[in-house]
Amino acid sequence: MKRIALYPAVLLSLGICMLAQAELRVEIAGVGANQIPISVANFANDGSAAQSVSAVIRADLERSGVFRLIDNTETIAENAPVNLGTWRANGADALVTGSVTRLSDGRQDLRYKLMDTVKTTELSALSLTLQPRVIRQGAHRVADDIYEKMTGVRGAFSTRIAYIVKSGSEYRLEVADSDGENAVTAIRSTEPLISPVWSPDGSKLAYVSFENKKPMVYVQELASRRRVIVANFKGSNSAPAWSPDGKKIALALSREGQTQIYMVNADGTDLKRLSNSTGIDTEPRFAPDGQSLYFTSDRSGGPQIYRMSTQGGDARRVTFGGNYNISPRISPDGKMLAYVSRRDGRFQLFVLDLTSSQELRLSDGARDESPSFAPNGKYLIYATESGGRGTLAVVSTDGRSRYTLSARSGAIREPAWGPFTQ
């Protein structure tokens, strides 16, 4: 059994330094094809609350669209003998068991085991030593392990998301677990906050704030809440994007007239202009190798997505489907481009396979925007509307499963999915 001591310092600091907000409500709207049947037993000493470890694991797996949960009301510790043939007969290809034990120093020992009921073998086992306040994070880690062992792809349940909430006249930049729980406020303002984006190590957010009556780009450390101004030039300062190594930020500036793409060090020094078109160039995003940028430009008459070197120079057009394509987001493996396209008057989310040039529509709203890839590349979170109010939606990149995250009060927009941090 692999034993891990888990001390998520950033999460603890967030919990201490920032004011907690109401969590988001999850509604599953679709599931994937060829789901894996799996049964998750109640963990020993876990209690029966909806936020118990076993309940969080079940919710994660169900939300993914990859798994079909087989009912299991039994309590089974990870070291208890089990008849895997019985669970196989109940329709489960895999069985999850576990326990939660309080240690003498107040911490909790979370243990789990994943078993293949078909081959009657153990697939994985973990032991996590946790402070009680981060027990849900431990449950997400278990769900990540299950997802990876069953699919071969790293799970992203233990990652975080950032988004903007507008409630009355107040704007809040919030950070939450990937399922919308444990939401905390990074900053609040009576002026708009837009375009949050995570640093590659997950310790900082760059964003645009209008708090000084003009758009300025800030970088904020989440644990300390310390902020630095990265861009406060004449005109508009907008659309920040981190380089993969976290040392540079690409952004859109109108300091010399028409909005163009620039690059700056993460501390705001050494500004360099990259694009020199006669149109508007904006919304830059780094390719995973850090050698090129995807961005939106209307240089061809309408907004389309282009790619150019991070050294500047000529740009190559990437999107040709439809006459209005914006908000480029490149997948972590660099093989897929997500963007928002206007078709028949509706703004919807599309993905483009950069190898085959095949395009797939993933959303069906009228005002979908701000896509962001999960760090494993298997899901996209984006902003949409429900009942006239801004909500978030998550869709698998094959379009087969989806769910929504809605606030109990206020409208939420501008989501950004954080990176792997462990």
Can you give the pLDDT at residue 9? 34
Can you give the pLDDT at residue 387? 80
Can you give the pLDDT at residue 406? 85
- CATH no. for residue 237? 2.120.10.30
DSSP-derived 3-state class of residue 422: coil
Q: Are residues 84 and 169 in the same domain?
A: no
- CATH no. for residue 60? 3.40.50.10070
Query: Does residue 17 sit within a domain?
Result: no
Query: Does residue 309 sit within a domain?
Result: yes
Q: Are residues 135 and 211 in the same domain?
A: no
Q: Which of 117, 151, 185 is the last residue of a domain?
A: 151
Q: Are residues 197 and 111 in the same domain?
A: no
The DSSP-derived string for 246-305 is: SSEEEEEE-TTSS-EEEEEETTS-S-EE----SS-EEEEEE-TTSSEEEEEE-TTSS-EE
The DSSP-derived string for 32-64 is: -SSPEEEEEPBPBT--S-TTSHHHHHHHHHHHH
End-to-end Cα separation, the chain, in angstroms: 19
Q: How far apart are CA 240 and CA 414, in angstroms?
A: 13
Q: Are residues 144 and 164 in the same domain?
A: no
Query: Does residue 18 sit within a domain?
Result: no
Taking alpha carbons only, the member of 368, 299, 302, 309 closest to residue 338 is 368
Domains: count for the chain: 2
pLDDT values of the chain reduced to their tens digit, one per residue, 422 residues: 554 444 333 333 343 334 444 467 777 766 666 899 999 999 999 875 556 999 999 999 999 999 999 999 999 999 999 999 999 999 999 999 999 999 999 999 999 999 999 999 999 999 999 998 999 999 999 999 999 999 999 999 999 999 999 999 999 999 999 999 999 999 999 999 999 999 999 999 999 999 999 999 999 999 999 999 999 999 999 999 999 999 999 999 999 999 999 999 999 999 999 999 999 999 999 999 999 999 999 999 999 999 999 999 999 999 999 999 999 999 999 999 999 999 999 999 999 999 999 999 999 999 999 999 999 999 999 999 988 889 999 999 999 999 999 887 789 999 999 999 97
Between the CA of residue 250 and those of 61, 231, 420, what are the distances in Å?
36, 11, 21
Containing structural domain, residue 361: 160-417
